[in-house]
């Protein structure tokens, strides 16, 4: 069994079948993107892995253990959302420390961990700032630091770049990837942006209407699409 194993996942909202027999194996340290148009079920898959949604059927194993019945905290997962998810009334350091406080980590260790995380994201001196005093790109790096501070087993990124300017978006792609590789943290990244998925991932899952159309390396997805949908969707690079 892989580090993260998703099997036969199904989810409907009322009559709408949003995720259909979704299967995915992710190895430890792998960076896998869920790529597809808006509404194809990417976020719903991610939210089921995080524990914010319960699947109708199927299993999600992390390190061999089915987590479907575990709450979000017990899963030891870190998540970064699209934007504006920092606590506006807390400083950068307090934001990064938030999950540690909840987990009951002591003061000295929390201070160490916050320092380590701020240096990891390249903002060692900005701990006393408030979110509104920082650029969007810096705020997303802080959100990443906050997610990583608790040393999660899996990192889930839900369109973390889509609210940012094009220039910042491109530089943040490589920064996120560098941090992910340095920590060797298993990551699932949701995006509708082909370039992001192609440039950042070890593997890509192209989704369409709640199903995985194709799973493969960026090279294979780009050069050997197995369905017309994948060819069209990935072929529309600007
Ligand atoms: P994506 O991330 O690919 O844009 P989502 O997983 O967010 O897609 O949504 C897939 C579909 O499920 C959409 O049609 C969306 O409107 C619907 N959906 C998502 N969450 C809910 C919900 N809590 N209640 C009802 N419908 C939902």
User: Is the predicted pLDDT of residue 134 greater than 50, yes or no?
Assistant: yes
How far is the centre of ligand 1, averaged over its atoms, from the C-alpha of 91 (Å)? 32
Within the chain, residue ranges assigned H as helices are: 42-50, 92-102, 107-120, 136-149, 166-183, 194-200, 218-223, 228-234
pLDDT greater than 60 at residue 237: no
* Averaged confidence pLDDT in the chain: 94
63 three-state secondary structure: coil
Alpha carbon of 77 to ligand 1 centroid (Å): 21
Per-residue pLDDT, 153: 95
Q: Is the CB of 40 under 6 A from ligand 1?
A: yes
**pLDDT of 20-59, one tens digit each?**
999 999 999 999 999 999 999 999 999 999 999 999 999 9
Cα 215 to ligand 1 centre (Å) = 21
Q: Please, which pLDDT band fits residue 236 given cuts at 50, 70 and 90?
A: low
Q: Which residue has its alpha carbon closest to ligand 1 atom 21?
A: 13
What's the pLDDT at 84? 66
Greater pLDDT, 103 or 112? 112
Ligand 1 atom closest to residue 40's alpha carbon, by position in its atom list: 3
Structure tokens belonging to residue 138: 């810096």
The rounded distance, in Å, linking the Cα atoms of 220 and 225 is 7
pLDDT, tens digit (0-9, with 9 covering 90-100), for 69-109: 998 888 999 999 887 689 999 999 999 999 898 888 999 99
139 within ligand 1 shell (Cβ under 6 A): no
Q: What is the pTM of this model?
A: 0.95
Ligand 1: residue whose CA is nearest its atom 22: 13
- ipTM of predicted complex: 0.97
Angstrom distance (rounded) from CA 26 to CA 39: 23
Q: Which of 12, 43, 44, 189 to mutate to test the pocket of ligand 1 (most atoms within 8 A of CB)?
A: 44
Residue 238, pLDDT score:
39
* Pocket lining: 191 vs ligand 1, CB cutoff 6 Å: no
């Amino acid at each position: 069994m892989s580090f993260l194993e998703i099997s036969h996942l199904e989810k409907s909202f009322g009559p709408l079948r949003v995720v259909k027999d979704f299967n995915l194996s992710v190895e430890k340290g792998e960076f896998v993107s869920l790529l597809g148009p808006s509404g194809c079920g990417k976020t719903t898959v991610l939210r089921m892995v995080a524990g914010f949604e319960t699947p109708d059927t199927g299993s999600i194993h992390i390190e061999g253990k089915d987590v479907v019945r575990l709450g979000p905290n017990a899963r030891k997962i870190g998540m970064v959302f699209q934007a504006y998810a920092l606590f506006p009334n807390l400083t950068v350091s307090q934001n990064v420390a938030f999950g540690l406080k909840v987990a009951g980590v002591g003061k000295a260790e929390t201070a160490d961990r916050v320092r380590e995380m701020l240096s990891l994201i390249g903002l060692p001196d900005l701990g006393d700032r408030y979110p509104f005093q920082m650029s969007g790109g810096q705020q997303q790096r802080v959100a990443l630091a906050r997610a990583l501070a608790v040393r999660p087993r899996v990192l889930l990124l839900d369109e973390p770049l889509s609210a940012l300017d094009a220039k910042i978006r491109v530089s943040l792609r490589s920064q996120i990837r560098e941090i992910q590789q340095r920590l060797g943290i298993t990551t699932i990244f949701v995006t509708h942006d082909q370039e992001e998925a192609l440039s950042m991932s070890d593997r890509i899952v192209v989704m369409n209407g709640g199903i995985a159309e194709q799973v493969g390396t960026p090279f294979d997805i780009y050069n050997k699409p197995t369905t017309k949908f994948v060819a069209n969707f990935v072929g529309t690079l600007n």
